[in-house]
């Protein structure tokens, strides 16, 4: 009997459900959100329009966008109780642990926390989209002994984030590069963190619980944590000239090279060319080509020697570094974006729910008697 059972470790190749949120087409290295190519969305729309698209299935009209933006802008502030909690976090807490805890706290404070009707879940999702960046920026500043900066409701989403982190809004090229990264990070089918959020939702637990599960899964270096690992790796390489020898040493030690490889894309990640373009714009703006030059060597040798392509984290890591963000903020920034994809999947899972509960093939000791004493 047992030999007829096929165990798909890591659920490789398993279709766990249907979804209309996004589509990955590895054969053409392409990705669409609700039918729109992601690179076209990057060039023609903003992250907030994409958030609306993911949640509603269509891009917003001007009126719908204005209402969506106004709702978000009015929800950015954190409660005094949450601010006190953030101040009490250990100074060396990892920002992903901080944001995971902050979202959990937001759930306890939310007046609709336990209401899992579609309308309430959507209202809560807007609150999370608005408040998570405030918590990410505040915990970053507090960890450095700086006072948090209150959100500015007169500023658009990305401008407000820079304002809360740095106290100023950078030039439009930087805002555009950041906005593009947010669009590219927003959604990616049944990745590990999205699947975690769907598993939590399938038990009929609430939205905050699902998002906390997503954040916990995203932290790992095999998933979202890779954008931080990429930058640590680039900083370890003394110069672009030294990159090839450094990489060959990694090969000799059979070590993973962060920012390369993907479970679904085996011939290149659809998001990389767009993010690379904007990382290069950032290198121009800042006047520092070292990271992109080192990256180019790594990408060339990885392809030639291992036939492995870079993933989105590879250009996103140096782009965020060039924007001035501290490395431990990179994955929390990913959270600010992916809340949109997670929530879209929570709505979809809840609308046609079935408890997610696979089987395991037992390989432990045979049944045996408990020793009598």
Residues that bind ligand COA (CB under 6 A): 222, 226, 256-263, 308, 311, 313
Which one is catalytic: 110, 309, 313, 345? 313
Alpha helices in the chain (DSSP H): 38-44, 47-56, 62-73, 80-88, 95-109, 118-143, 157-166, 172-185, 192-202, 207-218, 226-236, 243-252, 272-286, 290-306, 313-323, 330-351
94 is catalytic: no
Q: Reply yes or no on whether 188 is catalytic.
A: no
Whether 200 contacts 209, CB under 8 Å? yes
- Structure tokens given for 124: 């809560």
* Shortest CB 268 distance to ligand COA, Å: 12
Known catalytic residue at 313: yes
Q: Which is nearer to ligand COA, 153 or 221 (CB)?
A: 221
Q: Cβ-closest residue to ligand COA?
A: 261
CB 11 within 8 A of CB 264: no
Residue 188 Cβ vs ligand COA, minimum distance, rounded to whole Å? 8
- The least CB distance from residue 361 to ligand COA, in Å, is 20
As given in the structure block, the two tokens for residue 219 are 């932290």
d(CA 8, CA 52): 35
Nearer to ligand COA, 99 or 184 (CB): 184
Looking at the DSSP assignment, which residues form a beta bridge with residue 110? none
Out of 262, 269, 309, 345, the active site residue is 262
Name the residue nearer to ligand COA (CB basis): 102 or 272.
272
Residue linked to tokens 């975690």? 196
CA distance 49 to 199: 27
| Closer residue to ligand COA in complex, CB, 259/332 | 259
Task: Please check whether residue 84 is in contact with residue 132, taking contact to mean a CB–CB distance below 8 angstroms.
Answer: no
Our CB check for ligand COA shows the closer of 125 and 257 to be 257
The least distance separating ligand COA from the CB of residue 264, rounded to whole angstroms, comes to: 8
Shortest Å, Cβ 232 to ligand COA:
12
| Candidate list 223, 269, 309, 345, residue with the active-site label | 223
Residues designated catalytic: 223, 262, 313
């Amino acid at each position: 009997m047992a030999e007829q059972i096929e165990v798909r470790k890591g659920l490789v190749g398993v279709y766990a459900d249907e979804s209309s949120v996004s589509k990955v087409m590895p054969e053409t290295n392409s990705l669409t959100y609700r039918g729109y190519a992601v690179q076209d969305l990057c060039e023609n729309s903003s992250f907030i329009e994409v958030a609306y698209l993911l949640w509603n299935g269509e891009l917003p009209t001007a009126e719908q966008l204005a209402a969506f933006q106004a709702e978000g802008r009015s929800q950015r502030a954190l409660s005094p109780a949450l601010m006190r909690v953030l101040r009490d976090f250990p100074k060396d807490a990892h920002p992903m642990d901080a944001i995971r805890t902050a979202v959990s706290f937001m759930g306890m404070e939310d007046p609709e926390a336990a209401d899992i009707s579609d309308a309430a879940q959507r209202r809560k999702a807007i609150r999370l989209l608005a408040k998570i960046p405030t918590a990410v920026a505040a915990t970053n500043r507090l960890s450095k002994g700086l006072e948090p900066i209150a959100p500015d409701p007169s500023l658009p989403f990305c401008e407000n984030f820079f304002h809360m982190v740095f106290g100023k809004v950078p030039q439009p090229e930087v805002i555009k590069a950041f906005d593009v990264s947010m669009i590219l990070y927003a959604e990616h089918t049944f990745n590990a963190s999205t699947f975690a959020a769907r598993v939590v939702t399938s038990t009929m637990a609430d939205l905050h619980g699902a998002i906390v599960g997503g954040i916990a899964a995203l932290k790992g270096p095999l998933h979202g944590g890779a954008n931080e690992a990429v930058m640590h790796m680039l900083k370890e390489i003394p110069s672009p000239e030294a990159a090839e020898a450094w990489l060959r040493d990694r090969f000799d030690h059979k070590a993973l090279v962060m920012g390369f490889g993907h479970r679904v894309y085996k011939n290149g990640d659809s998001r990389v060319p767009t993010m690379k373009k904007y990382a290069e714009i950032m290198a121009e703006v800042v006047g520092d080509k070292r990271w992109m030059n080192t990256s180019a060597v790594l990408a060339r040798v990885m392809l030639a020697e291992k036939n492995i392509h870079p993933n989105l984290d590879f250009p996103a890591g140096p782009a965020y570094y060039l924007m001035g963000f501290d490395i431990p903020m990179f994955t929390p920034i990913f959270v600010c974006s992916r809340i949109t994809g997670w929530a879209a999947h929570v709505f979809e899972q809840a609308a046609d729910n079935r408890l997610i509960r696979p089987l395991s093939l037992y390989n432990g000791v045979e049944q045996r008697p408990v020793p009598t004493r």
